[in-house]
Each structure stands twice: as structure tokens, then as C-alpha cells.
Structure 1
Amino acid sequence: MIVELTALHWIYVVFIALIIGFMVMRRDTTIICIVGIFLIAITATGSLAHAVSSIFNSFGYAITELLSTILVISIIVAMSHTLTATGINDVMISPFRRLIRNPPMAYWTIGILMMVISWFFWPSPAVALLGAVLLPVAIRAGLPALGAAMAMNLFGHGIALSGDYVIQAAPKLTSDAAGIPIQDVINASIPLVFIMGLVTTVTAYYLLRRDMKRGVLTTASTDLSPSQETSSNQPVLLSLAQKQFFAILVPLLFVADVIAMTNLNLTGGDATAIIGGTSILILILISLFSYKNKGLEKSTSLLIEGFQFGFKVFGPVIPIAAFFYLGDSGFTKIIGDYLPKASQGIVNDLGAALASIVPLSKTVGAITLTAVGAITGLDGSGFSGISLAGSVASLFAAAIGKGAATLTALGQIAAIWVGGGTLIPWALIPAAAICNVDPFELARRNLVPVVVGLIVTTIAAIFLI
């Protein structure tokens, strides 16, 4: 059933356009998002008091949804701060200096490692595993932190997550919605994921190298630590043997995490949690050992620095996340049950409406599935709308007479590349925070490569249908 679009839907569309426009112009979007939340709330409820309170409630909802990510990023940063202050980090990264000697090797090595780990444990844990160790190496090799963040982002949240060949959560959702076997979707997605990944990462690298040669991007301004005011500036005297011991112990503990993830089948949030817990233990152990009788106070100080960094990074993201959460299940939880009864959420309603008004052919079908996937990805999860993409693909395939698996895979790829963490600023926060770069700048950097990739992949899908 296609829900008739209401004023709520059109307000949402207008403010999406405004937010994208302001981001492109490099202007702050906080006030735009707040005004959008207010207008949607007052239109839905007709109550000024309810609309005003919905602004606060939307912020609370966004923080709740993002809290686990904020915590793990804060803890990883605090741990990295400890490793840097004690000199252990320099010993840890020394073996990688032989492998990663220049920016191209840094970009592709980080990206490929990120992709492989993300296949098994999803991207957020992979970012935490790789960032603390490989980022300093990449920067010393001449790759700007923004380039490292792009590599992690495009290979992990893009290539690995859009295919999801090991965990298979994404193809399971889309295949069930399309009414076809999951293996059909996986097989159909292989050439599309390959094309999308190749075009996007090569385009991103070309643009990155171009700006590095022009001097637009350099490593000089990179700040690997969240703060320079407390313990990180105070030298900690450890012998070389002690540094080597911890340099071996820390990777071994993370390897143990990987083994535990495999044996206990931990993925997603559970995998992130075990990495976060391990990072806390590492921070405490090194602090107690390095700072001796001041270790208790230093552990707390480092955690505070990490949390300050985490909330500082996430602060600008919360308003925009609060607005976009209104497009999905967050609407009911923030404002209340004011959508039409048949509504599947504002974003899904818009995607279904688009699919219902286009003529049917394999060309239009492929373009529409890319658009529907991209629209449903605007909520920033990448997964919430892919069932709709599967349903729309099934309808188009029935009308065209073929191509159900290809159309389903195309919708899945578009939804996850847009919403899974390469274009929506709060979805790509893990890579941005670990690399200490602006998430909005990272989103802008990803925009052209991802759009080019989607265009080429859509054209390829037309020929594969």
C-alpha cells in the first residue's frame, strides 16, 4: 500500500535539501535541523509546547542511539593517548614502517585490511582495531589523516558492508523482502560490489592525490591526540624492554578479541563492546605500570580526556542525527503516533512513492532502485530501508519479467553506501573520530567518489538485468 504523502513528508524533503545545500556551502546546519524538527513536530501535533519539547526529546533520542559509538570512540582515543604518552605506540608501529612507506601503500593497505576485517566483524570494530595502530604509520608515510579516514570508510562501511558476504545480514533482509533465495542476491551483488568499490576507491584516491600535490591536504596539521594539556605532555620513563613488552601485549590482546569474536560469533555491537572493554583494561594496566603511585589519578584523567574528545566530536552531529531519525522509527518515539496508519516511516514512504510514479523498464528500474536505496539510507543506518528496496525490486522485476536479484542487490548497495557510513555524517563518525578529522569534511570528500560509483554501478546493473 502506497501512503499518500502529507505535509510532514514534504517538510522533511525540503529540509533534507536545505541541509545538503548548507553542507555543500560549508555552512553549519545545526539551526536548520532544529527548525526542521520544530516544524515537523508542530505540523504533526498542532501543539506549540509539544513541538518545543520535541526538540529536546530528539536530542535525547539521538544521544541514546549514538551512545555506544561515543563511548567506544572515547575509550579508544584515551587508550591511544596512553600509548602515545608512554612511547609504546612508536615501538608498536615500527614493523609497519617497512610495509607502509608512502601514501599509496598507506591508502591501499589500510583500505584492504579494513575491508577484510569488516567482512567478519563489521566496520565499527574494524575501525577501532586498525585506527590506533595504523593511523600513525600512515601519517608518517605522508598520507593525511583525512585520507586514512577515507580508506577506512570506503573499504569498510562501503565495500565490506554493502556486500556483507560473511555475516549476511544485509542480503538476508533484502532477499526475504524480494522473495528470492539469499544466494541469488549474493551472487548478483558480487559484480556490482566490485564495480562500486573499484570506481569509488580509485576516484577517491585520484582526488586525494590531486589535492595533496596542490598542497590542499597535508599531514602537517594532523593532531593525533585529543588534548595536549595534561598527562600526554608529561614524559613517562619506560625502558625499551618495557615498551617492547607492552607493544607485544597490546596487539596480542586485540588478537584474543578477534579469536573470541570468531568463536563466540560476536558481531556488530557485541564485537565493539569487547574491543572497548579491552581498551579500558589496557589503559588502566599501562597507566598503573607507567605512572606508579599516580596511576589511579592518571587513569581517570585519561578517561576524562577521552570523553571530552568524544563528545566534542559528536556535538555538531547530534542535531543533524536527531532530524534524520525522524524519518524512521524515531518519529514515534520522539513526537508520538501522528503518522498515517499505513505509514512505514517518512523515509520509506518517500521511497515507495517514488517507485510508484515511474514508468517500468530495466533502465528506469535500475535508476529507481538506486534512488530508493539512497533515499532509505538517509536515516543513517543503511539497514532500516533495505527491506523496502527488496520489495520494490520484486515489483519491478515482475513487471519487467527479469532481474529480481540484480535489482535487489543494487538497492541494497545504494542504501548501505549512502546510509551505512560513507555520506551521512553521523554514520561515518567512527572513522572520523579515530582519525581526528571533521566528519562533515569526510562526508564532503566521499560525496563525489560515491556518486560517481553509484552512477557507474547503476549503468552496469542495467546491462546485467
Structure 2
Amino acid sequence: MEQIEQVQLTASHWVFLLLILAIFISIGFRKGVIVPSIAGIFMLGLLADAPHEGVLNQMIFAVQVVFRALLNAGTELFDIMLVIALMVAMLKSLQHQGADRLMVAPMKKLMVGPWTAFFVVGITMYIAAAFFWPTPAVALVGTVLIPVAMQVGLPAIGAAMAVNLFGHGMALSADPVIQGASRLTASAAGIETTTLVPYTLLFSLVVGGVAITMACLALRRDMRSGALEAPKGDEVFTPRSAGAAAVQTDTVKEEEEPEAGPYARIFAIAVPIILLGIAGLMIYRAVFMPDQAIRGGGATALLGGTATLLLVLSSFASHGHHALDGISTYTREGFFFAIKIFAPIIPIAGFFFLGHPGHSAEVIGAGAAGFLFDIGHNIGNYIDGNVFLLTFGMAFIGLLSGMDGSGFSGLPLVGSLSGALGTAANVDIHVLAALGQVAAIFAGGGTLAAWAFGVAADAGIAGVSPAALVRRNFVPVISGIIVASLLAVFLLI
């Protein structure tokens, strides 16, 4: 590889590097990384060139940099937060009139045995998670389909693996519709979300395909040997009491199943058709009418606007003239969910975004260094075109960063490192960033961290322990990530 010109590293670069090390140590001890991130932003502000001289002015500038870094991250991510809030609010309005259960009820007819049940539950979870995100989707899919899956012979751990691998694994790591995960990674890497999504989709399918195949083979072996059995008759677990409570927001009390409203069937048919129609339109235009393609911010706006209109219509169908009051409750619940997801991510993203020169200049001022990109350029001289080391290193970093139990908090780190090292090594940043994102979310989003909310929710909805679910997932998921890493090496050569 051609020798890259060395960048002169300043004290700020070393502080940035030390703070990344501190964040890795915090992750290793399963501690939060918000405080190191904020401390890092403040220290970079202290070391930056303030507009006016003097110790007091430097302190004032550093404090301002902290706020501007958080504001920059929040501004970058707000549209994704908004569309997630609106989608969840729409789902809440559908739940009130019973339309949500009617949407997935037809899938019960397809479950005639344990293996059809496994894939019907999994694929339904994937579709629901792609549009509503996995956490709201697991209550919807799990409470309706899991009891039926058990009745036709699928063990509880098999049902938990289906919703977990398809939902918090494949669907969340690719995030093909809402694209919140990809936006976070792409912003840190300095690339476009629309060019990253095809790679995240590819790697998520590879990891998921390998993991699901191995999981099914292990389930089949244990079911044949009698080590796993489906509950019989009245022993079938009803997840409403345990699982549904686990996936509801703190402000929502568990309620009795609502009776289907007069318009529930209409919405149960119309909403999936509309949302799938939008997804189909996006794909069609991207392939056959690229000059009129709906991507990026336009796709987010179309999805968010559609969710808003459906929310209004569903609220009026459910409440009549009282919808003027009812819609505020759904909107509040939707925003509460979105903020709960993104609030701890914004300070972390604020720090790692400073690794990119564009974000750094926006926060600190014109001429500010892109700290991580400069470090990456210098490291590039030592990589010397070792694509194997670079690829597996990124997969390992993704796995490690996901072990905090979130998956999302590691995406700014994954994106920043991919952008810096990919640029330095002159390889495709999209491949590295996508691999790191998929590894991070499969680990912490999640399928491998027993303390992750996704694992707890999916295990709870099926009535099994999170530790048992993680033990079942470990070898299949790690094998999938290894195969995806080998594919990434092939793509980068």
C-alpha cells in the first residue's frame, strides 16, 4: 500500500485516543460510557483555540463546546427519533382498538407444526420489527403467536430464539425501513445512509441465515433426543402476564385485551398494505426510476408523514370526537419510547462525531481537526493493506461495543473507526461500517448479552430465562459473524 503522509498529532488527538480507551474499559466492566464521553468533549474544548484569550474564556468555550456537541448529535439524529416516535404512537392507537392483534392473527393459520411455527413467528417478527422496531413488535407478535406455536409443538426456547434472532438480531441490525441504526453509524463514518443500508442488509442476512440454520439444527437434535419438549395442553405458557409487561414502557399499565373496535378490521388490513406499499415503492423507484428515487431524508419524511396520518385516522376511528384528547396520549407514549432509546446515545454520539472533521468544525470551529480520522491516517501506515486484520478487528470491536447491552451506544465508535481506518487503508468504508454495525447490534441489541433489554423482553415473552436464550444463541451468532467477516474480506480484496 502506498505510504500515507503522517498527520502531526496534537494533545487533543492523544486526549481523544485516551478517552476511547477509557470507553473501552468502561464497556469491559459493563459500565455506562456517558460520563467519559461528556468528559472527553469538555477536555477537547479546553484544548481547542477559544475565540478570546484567558483562562475564564477558555472555560466558557469548553462548556459551550459540550452543549454544541450534544446539539449537533441531537440535530443529526432527530428525524430518526421522530419517525420512531410516530410509528410507535401509531401502533399504540391501533392497539387501543384491537387492530394490532387482527393484523397478525391470520399468520396463526399457517402454523401446522413446530418448524412452520418457528419461521412464521420469526418472519412475522422481522416484518413487524422492520416497521415498528423490535421492542414494540415483540409484544404484538409474541402475545398472539407464541402460545399457538407452542400448541403445535415448538418448545418455548425455540419460540424465544425465533423472535430474538429475526427481530433483535436480523431486523434491528439491518434496520432497512426506519434506518435509525444506519443513520447513527453513517453520520459517524461520514458516509451516506442510503449507501450503507445495502451492506447492513447483506451482512444481517448472512449472520442471521447462519445463526438461524445452526439454531434450527440444534433445536431439531434436542427435540429428537427428548431434551426439549413443547408444553402440553393447559401447560402452554401465556406470555401476557410475564412477557407483555417486560416490553411495555414504564408509563403504560398492562390492560386487558381490548375488544376489536368497529373499524379495527379495516385498519388491520389497510395499515400493512400501506406500509408494505411504501416499502415496495421505494425499492421500485430505486431500481427502475433512480432519478425519482425516494431515499434518505425523503424516505424518512414519507414514512413519518404516513405514520402521522394513520395515527390521526386511527385515533378518530377509536375515540370519535374524543380523539383530540386521545391522540396526545399516543403521541406522548411514542416520544417517550424514542427518547428512552436515544437519550443515552446522544452524549456518546456527540463525542465520537468529533472524530469526523465535518462535525468537529461544526462544534469547535473552522479548522478543527477530525481527531479520529487523523489518528486513523497514521495507523493506516501500520495496517499496510492487511484487510483480514482490519475486517476481523472491526467485527471484534463491534461485538465488544455491543456488550453494554444496548448495541446502539457502540455505533458512533464503530462508524468513526470505520471511516478513519477505511480511509487510511484505502478500502470501502461502507463494508467496514456495516460489518461493525451488524456485529454490535447482534451482540447488544441483542442476542448475546443476557442483560440486554432485547434478550430480556424476548425471553420473557416466551417464559424462558435470558441466560438460557443467550447460551442457545452464542455459537450460532458468533459463527454467523465469522462468516460475514470472511465475506467482508472478499468484498474488500
Question: TM over 0.5, yes or no?
Answer: yes
Distance 2:30 2:20 in 1: 15
Q: Residues 48-197 of structure 1: matches in 2 within 5 Å?
A: 48-99=59-110, 104-105=118-119, 108-109=122-123, 126-128=130-132, 136-138=140-142, 140-141=145-146, 148=163, 151-152=166-167, 154-156=169-171, 158=173
> What residue number does 1:357 align with?
382
* CA offsets 1:402-458 (integer angstroms, 9 cap, x no match): xxxxxx46x643322224x65279xx99x99xxxx748999xx89998776555555
**Alpha carbons of 1:6 and 1:249: their partners in 2 closer, same or farther (altered >3 Å)?**
same
Distance 1:30 1:462 in 2: 33
- Structure 1 residue 57: deviation in Å? 1.3
Equivalent of 2:440, from 413, 420, 423? 423
Equivalent of 2:279, from 230, 233, 258? 258
Distance 2:338 2:126 in 1: 27
AA at the equivalent of 2:412:
G
AA at the equivalent of 1:155:
M
Distance 2:278 2:489 in 1: 42
- Structure 1 residue 132: deviation in Å? 6.2
Equivalent of 1:333, from 362, 366, 379? 362
- Structure 1 residue 9: deviation in Å? 2.3
Distance 1:336 1:136 in 2: 47
- Structure 1 residue 346: deviation in Å? 2.2
* CA offsets 1:236-282 (integer angstroms, 9 cap, x no match): 7655x632222112222223323442345212332222222111111
- Structure 1 residue 65: deviation in Å? 1.0
Distance 2:258 2:201 in 1: 50
> What residue number does 1:366 align with?
388
- Structure 1 residue 294: deviation in Å? 0.9
Distance 1:293 1:286 in 2: 12
Distance 2:349 2:219 in 1: 27
**Alpha carbons of 1:452 and 1:145: their partners in 2 closer, same or farther (altered >3 Å)?**
closer
Deviates further, 85-94 or 348-357: 348-357
**Alpha carbons of 1:461 and 1:273: their partners in 2 closer, same or farther (altered >3 Å)?**
closer
* Aligned alpha-carbon RMSD (Å): 5.0
- Structure 1 residue 6: deviation in Å? 2.5
> What residue number does 1:405 align with?
none
**Alpha carbons of 1:189 and 1:56: their partners in 2 closer, same or farther (altered >3 Å)?**
closer
Distance 2:73 2:354 in 1: 10
Alpha-carbon contact 1:128-1:275 (below 8 Å) kept = no
Q: Which runs of 5+ in 2 are unaligned?
A: 51-57, 147-155, 180-184, 223-227, 229-237, 286-291, 402-409, 458-469
Alignment of 1:270 onto 2:298: yes
Alignment of 1:380 onto 2:409: no
Distance 1:207 1:346 in 2: 46
* CA offsets 1:60-102 (integer angstroms, 9 cap, x no match): 1111111011111111111111111211111111012344686
Distance 1:194 1:295 in 2: 41
Alpha-carbon contact 2:26-2:32 (below 8 Å) kept = yes
Distance 1:458 1:97 in 2: 36
AA at the equivalent of 1:226:
T
Distance 1:271 1:380 in 2: 22
Equivalent of 2:47, from 43, 50, 54? 43
> What residue number does 1:298 align with?
326
Alpha-carbon contact 2:122-2:166 (below 8 Å) kept = yes
**Alpha carbons of 1:202 and 1:4: their partners in 2 closer, same or farther (altered >3 Å)?**
farther
Distance 1:48 1:208 in 2: 60
Distance 2:274 2:100 in 1: 15
> What residue number does 1:6 align with?
10
> What residue number does 1:26 align with?
30
Q: Which runs of 5+ in 1 are unaligned?
A: 115-123, 165-169, 177-181, 395-407
Distance 2:122 2:257 in 1: 34
Q: What is the DSSP-based 3-state SS (H/G/I as helix, E as strand, rest coil) of the residue aligned with 2:312?
A: helix
Deviates further, 257-266 or 140-149: 140-149
> What residue number does 1:404 align with?
none
Distance 2:274 2:169 in 1: 27
- Structure 1 residue 323: deviation in Å? 1.2
Deviates further, 94-103 or 23-32: 94-103
Matched residues, percent identical? 25
Alpha-carbon contact 1:12-1:36 (below 8 Å) kept = yes
AA at the equivalent of 2:170:
F
Alpha-carbon contact 1:373-1:386 (below 8 Å) kept = no
Alpha-carbon contact 2:90-2:307 (below 8 Å) kept = yes
Equivalent of 1:314, from 308, 332, 342? 342
Alpha-carbon contact 1:352-1:372 (below 8 Å) kept = no
Distance 1:454 1:200 in 2: 9
Alpha-carbon contact 1:112-1:155 (below 8 Å) kept = yes
- Structure 1 residue 138: deviation in Å? 3.9
> What residue number does 2:407 align with?
none
> What residue number does 1:119 align with?
none
Alignment of 1:324 onto 2:352: yes
Alpha-carbon contact 1:199-1:452 (below 8 Å) kept = yes
AA at the equivalent of 2:268:
A
Distance 1:146 1:59 in 2: 37
AA at the equivalent of 2:362:
K
Q: What is the DSSP-based 3-state SS (H/G/I as helix, E as strand, rest coil) of the residue aligned with 2:48?
A: helix
Distance 2:311 2:175 in 1: 30
Distance 1:229 1:192 in 2: 35
Distance 1:260 1:352 in 2: 41
**Alpha carbons of 1:112 and 1:74: their partners in 2 closer, same or farther (altered >3 Å)?**
closer
